Chains A and B, each alone.
Chain A
Amino acid sequence: MIKLINQLFPIADAIRFPLLIVEWVFSFIYFEFGLSFFLRYYKNRKKSKTYYDLAFASFFIGFALLWFFFIIADYYSSEVIRSPYLLWSSGSDRSLILSFADFSIMGGALMCLYFMEKMKIFFIKRYFFTLCFLISIGIYFVLYFFILDLPRALIYPFYAIFILFLFLYFIDVIKTVKKKRILLIGAFIFIMGVILLFTGFTLTTDDLVIMYGFNIRLLGSIIQLASILCLFIFFLKIPPFSEFDFDPYIEGIFLINKGGIALYHKSFVESEDGKSGHLFSSGITSVNIILNEIISSQKKGLSIIKKKGKILYLYSGSLTTGVLICNSERDHISSFLKEFILRVEDIYLNILVDFDGDISIFRPVENIIKEVFGL
């Protein structure tokens, strides 16, 4: 059975061609954005301390795919409802392509949430938003098997989850960068870009097009094109947010050579028992050696020792070991410790290989700590 509905699609309006050009241009540029983030992540994957690049890559590639499918659906697919249609009791070519578009952005957003939440708890518990999103996708997927042409209202929970996440993320970004003016400006450019993107996208939805015609869609597409400019300025000019605030959590930091000598140590809290840095470093080195022996692990890498109220992060490089004493577990701190050790070993390579016992040369390590941990 074939049923004809009010034929809006494929778009045959006079606006079709300019609209198609604008939509194709921004979809392609967003795809390029996603690809460049992915390449940046791939290039830095060994030394990278965050998954932000991967999160942005997932979102932008998902968004670009959404628009590629929208273009196929709205310009080149029929809206004529057939019954039966493939697996379903009824459906149209356009509905099928639109469902692919929905799954693309769902996949992109899900990956984005997962990589973001992998690094930080944004709300209640880790992976809260990822889980909510996954459950929504599960429900959507089950319904999808019964009805191809699902009401668009079913997409709204996804919007709600993602917008709530973005809201919390923006608050977090502003809190983190509020001390640095350049980052604060960057944060606002970024937020503006994302708001423009969402506003533009909303104006292109079918509901608004049915009400106000294709001019509103063209406006939405132009706004999405403009959002590229904001995001481009942000990604080109502003350094990535170093989202860390370790001040209240780190109690002490030690740099120890392979012989167990404390090359540098600094305490951020008043010591109760007055143990010397050298005593501590010798103890820690012994513990590390024992750990390596009993676990038969590599001599390089990360160890974490947890005790009530104290967590010790140990990272062993080829020539030194860094130890962080924290009062609680911190997301992602170990990658900063790794960066610290790699940086010290790069700068002090010649000194460490042929160490003559003079530790005064390690005094500038304090500046490296400031740089890496922001302490």
Chain B
Amino acid sequence: MIPSQEIEFITFLTLSIISFQLSIYFFYQYFKLKKRNLYFNSKLQLSFGIFLLLLITGICFLNNVRLFQTDVIVILLFSKLGWLLIFLAPLGFLFCVLNQQFHEILDIKTTQILILFNSIAPVLLFLSPSTDTLLFRASIVLMIPSLIYIIYIQLNIIKKTKGQLKKRIILFLSGEIVAFSSLVNALLVNLSLIPEWSNVFYYSGLGILFCGLLLIIISLINSPPFYGLNYQQNLLKFYVINNNNKKCFYFVDFQRAFSEDSYLSTVSIKNVRSIDKALFSKVITGIELMIGDLTNTKGEKITQIQQENSMLIFDHSTTYEDISYILVVKNDVQPYYSFLQQLKRQFELFFKEILISLEKIKTNPEKLFRSFDMIIAWLLR
């Protein structure tokens, strides 16, 4: 092997390492979010993981052919395998998101048609005797609508998100588009359309891919958690209740927090929030006692109450047994279990030194716990 080929391979290897690391990161996120029942987000992570893994493995095969293989049969086999993996990448993505849960960001029928359309590409690939035929080039064209649709899906996600999260998804998509555009260079190099410019296309393609990956990495660093589409509109209220004295020591009205800039600002602390929390905590404790009595489940704690379209989701502290967390939401509750757990985790982390000595605080706990507003503001950013 000549040194220039080695350098070409090493440069590509570096970008492959970054891509594989990114892919592993998506799979790791998938398993982590799956455990937290965040279906929408976990499936998105899985689809990106599969997409990236298949795409980069396919490109690895094509590079292997280009740089190392001389045997005609091996070249044909590896080329077809490489292109097959590339064709499967958008298919894998679309299969993962083909679910009713995603109906707000994609049209199920269109997705099915595109999957069918894209599935023709691997068939054409195996029918074509080599990668120089028109049949094979037609198979590449069949993949393009799926790639465009993947971008369209993400544009829909951007439309339905807000704030910092929206900015991060825009950055992620920009990275993806930049990385996608390097496929043009890959195509020019692998199909040897302009052989004398091959090296220029190769290195500029890798440069473009690197920029795209860099944008994706930056978008993922410290990105706010994604609990699903429109999750903010469905959040209503959050209560932290001390079961020992039946008092609510922290309360936030999310809808007011979204509409009033000063709501979570601790500067306005003198304006005591007029809320129904005192009554609420007593009513909840009363319901719990009554249900426990009626159903002979006195030791058990309520986990969910549904009232028309509103839901009360409960989480009970395992560390501080007298504390319960209640989140009031609209509609679908699945992603909010995770959000409630996040609230619980943050509350217990922020006040851990206070909560272990809660009994020592004689007065004003509500005022003390209002400092949690800054964490809420950060979570809703």
- Which residues, 313 to 351 on A, are CB-close (under 8 Å) to B? 346-351
Q: Closest A-chain residue to B367, C-beta based?
A: A350
Q: Closest A-chain residue to B266, C-beta based?
A: A349
Find out whether the CB atom of B357 lies under 8 angstroms from the CB atom of A367: yes
Which of A349, A354, A365 is B371 in contact with, Cβ under 8 Å?
A349
Q: Closest B-chain residue to A370, C-beta based?
A: B353
Find out whether the CB atom of B374 lies under 8 angstroms from the CB atom of A17: no
Find out whether the CB atom of B269 lies under 8 angstroms from the CB atom of A17: no
Complex formed: what's the CA distance from A21 to B16 in Å?
12
Complex formed: what's the CA distance from A365 to B371 in Å?
15
Complex formed: what's the CA distance from A356 to B351 in Å?
21
Find out whether the CB atom of B17 lies under 8 angstroms from the CB atom of A28: yes
Provide the B345-374 mask, 1 if CB < 8 A to any CB of A, else 0.
Answer: 000001111101100111111011011001
Find out whether the CB atom of B357 lies under 8 angstroms from the CB atom of A350: no
Q: Closest A-chain residue to B366, C-beta based?
A: A350
Find out whether the CB atom of B1 lies under 8 angstroms from the CB atom of A367: no
Interface residues on B, range: 20 to 34
Q: Is B377 engaged at the interface, CB distance under 8 Å to the other chain?
A: no
- Beyond A354-B367, A356-B364, A361-B368, is A367–B17 a contact (Cβ under 8 Å)? no
Find out whether the CB atom of A350 lies under 8 angstroms from the CB atom of B370: yes
Q: Closest A-chain residue to B14, C-beta based?
A: A28
Find out whether the CB atom of B6 lies under 8 angstroms from the CB atom of A358: no
Which of A29, A76, A364 is B17 in contact with, Cβ under 8 Å?
A29
Taking the nearest CB of chain A, how far is it from the CB of B115, in angstroms? 36
Q: Is B116 engaged at the interface, CB distance under 8 Å to the other chain?
A: no
- Beyond A17-B1, A24-B10, A25-B13, is A358–B364 a contact (Cβ under 8 Å)? yes
Q: Is B3 engaged at the interface, CB distance under 8 Å to the other chain?
A: yes
Complex formed: what's the CA distance from A366 to B354 in Å?
9
Find out whether the CB atom of B6 lies under 8 angstroms from the CB atom of A17: yes
Q: Closest A-chain residue to B370, C-beta based?
A: A350
Complex formed: what's the CA distance from A28 to B15 in Å?
10
Which residues of chain A are near B109, meaning CB under 8 Å?
Answer: none
Taking the nearest CB of chain B, how far is it from the CB of A327, in angstroms? 26
Find out whether the CB atom of B367 lies under 8 angstroms from the CB atom of A351: yes
Q: Is B103 engaged at the interface, CB distance under 8 Å to the other chain?
A: no
Q: Closest A-chain residue to B222, C-beta based?
A: A43
Taking the nearest CB of chain A, how far is it from the CB of B219, in angstroms? 15
Taking the nearest CB of chain A, how far is it from the CB of B217, in angstroms? 10
Find out whether the CB atom of B368 lies under 8 angstroms from the CB atom of A347: yes
Complex formed: what's the CA distance from A21 to B7 in Å?
11
Q: Closest A-chain residue to B368, C-beta based?
A: A351
Find out whether the CB atom of B368 lies under 8 angstroms from the CB atom of A363: no
Of residues B14, B351, B354, B357, which shows the largest number of chain A Cβ atoms within 10 Å of its Cβ? B354
Q: Closest B-chain residue to A366, C-beta based?
A: B357
- Beyond A21-B13, A350-B266, is A363–B360 a contact (Cβ under 8 Å)? yes
Q: Closest A-chain residue to B374, C-beta based?
A: A346
Complex formed: what's the CA distance from A122 to B269 in Å?
48
Q: Is A87 engaged at the interface, CB distance under 8 Å to the other chain?
A: no
Q: Closest B-chain residue to A31, C-beta based?
A: B14
Q: Closest A-chain residue to B350, C-beta based?
A: A347
Taking the nearest CB of chain B, how far is it from the CB of A264, in angstroms? 12
Find out whether the CB atom of B354 lies under 8 angstroms from the CB atom of A367: yes
Taking the nearest CB of chain A, how far is it from the CB of B206, in angstroms? 14
Of residues A32, A43, A351, which shows the largest number of chain B Cβ atoms within 10 Å of its Cβ? A351
- Beyond A20-B10, A367-B354, is A348–B360 a contact (Cβ under 8 Å)? no
Which residues of chain A are near B13, meaning CB under 8 Å?
Answer: 21, 24-25
Which residues of chain A are near B361, meaning CB under 8 Å?
Answer: 360-361, 363-364
Find out whether the CB atom of B17 lies under 8 angstroms from the CB atom of A368: no
Taking the nearest CB of chain A, how far is it from the CB of B166, in angstroms? 22
Which of B3, B357, B368 is A348 in contact with, Cβ under 8 Å?
B368
Taking the nearest CB of chain A, how far is it from the CB of B181, in angstroms? 24
Q: Closest A-chain residue to B17, C-beta based?
A: A28
Which residues of chain B are near A295, meaning CB under 8 Å?
Answer: none
Q: Closest B-chain residue to A25, C-beta based?
A: B17
Complex formed: what's the CA distance from A354 to B368 in Å?
11
Find out whether the CB atom of A364 lies under 8 angstroms from the CB atom of B364: no
Find out whether the CB atom of B368 lies under 8 angstroms from the CB atom of A76: no
Taking the nearest CB of chain A, how far is it from the CB of B263, in angstroms? 14
Q: Closest B-chain residue to A353, C-beta based?
A: B269
Complex formed: what's the CA distance from A76 to B351 in Å?
59
Q: Is A371 engaged at the interface, CB distance under 8 Å to the other chain?
A: yes
Which residues of chain B are near A351, meaning CB under 8 Å?
Answer: 364, 367-368
Taking the nearest CB of chain B, how far is it from the CB of A11, in angstroms? 11
Complex formed: what's the CA distance from A361 to B354 in Å?
9
Find out whether the CB atom of A364 lies under 8 angstroms from the CB atom of B357: yes
Q: Closest A-chain residue to B3, C-beta based?
A: A76
Find out whether the CB atom of B352 lies under 8 angstroms from the CB atom of A350: no
Provide the A1-37 mask, 1 if CB < 8 A to any CB of B, else 0.
Answer: 0000000000000000100110011001100100000
Which residues of chain B are near A358, meaning CB under 8 Å?
Answer: 362-364
Taking the nearest CB of chain B, how far is it from the CB of A65, in angstroms? 15
Which residues of chain B are near A367, meaning CB under 8 Å?
Answer: 352-354, 356-357
Provide the B279-323 mask, 1 if CB < 8 A to any CB of A, else 0.
Answer: 000000000000000000000000000000000000000000000
Residues of chain A whose beta carbon lies under 8 Å from any beta carbon of chain B? 17, 20-21, 24-25, 28-29, 32, 39, 43, 75-76, 346-351, 353-354, 356, 358, 360-361, 363-368, 370-371
Given contacts A347-B353, A348-B368, A366-B353, list 17 more A-B pairs with CB under 8 A. A17-B1, A21-B10, A21-B13, A25-B17, A32-B21, A76-B3, A347-B368, A347-B371, A349-B374, A351-B368, A353-B266, A358-B362, A360-B360, A361-B361, A363-B357, A364-B353, A364-B357
> Could you give 9 example pairs across A and B, Cβ below 8 Å?
A17-B6, A25-B17, A76-B3, A348-B371, A353-B269, A358-B363, A360-B361, A361-B363, A366-B353
Residues of chain B whose beta carbon lies under 8 Å from any beta carbon of chain A? 1, 3, 6, 10, 13-14, 17, 21, 221-222, 266, 269-270, 350-354, 356-357, 360-365, 367-368, 370-371, 374
Nearest 4 A/B pairs, CB to CB: A367-B353, A363-B360, A364-B357, A364-B354
